[in-house]
Amino acid sequence: MTLLRLLSRAALFLLLPALLPGQPTNPEVFARIDAAWTDPDAIALKIWDNAQIGYLEEKSSGLL
């Protein structure tokens, strides 16, 4: 491989991310994510309040 070919490939490798557009942001996508988000601390407290014996954690597993 010649030096010129090696340098051109290295330049392409380094410049390619700058030439490609990033993923566009869509406010609707962020709104759907925020609407589906649940508070992990609240779920953890509910699981703690529903302490069940052995492998019978039906209420707790339903929260997950």
Per-domain boundaries in the chain:
3-59
Give mean pLDDT, residues 33-61: 78
For 40, the enclosing helix (H) or strand (E) is helix 40-49
Give mean pLDDT, residues 5-10: 86
Give the global pTM. Answer: 0.37
Residue 46 has pLDDT above 80, yes or no: yes
Residue 28: per-residue pLDDT: 83
The whole-angstrom separation of Cα 24 and Cα 8 is 29
Q: 27-43: per-residue pLDDT in tens?
A: 888 888 888 777 888 88
Residue 24: per-residue pLDDT: 67
How far are the Cα atoms of 5, 47, 61 from residue 1, in angstroms, in the given order?
Answer: 7, 62, 59
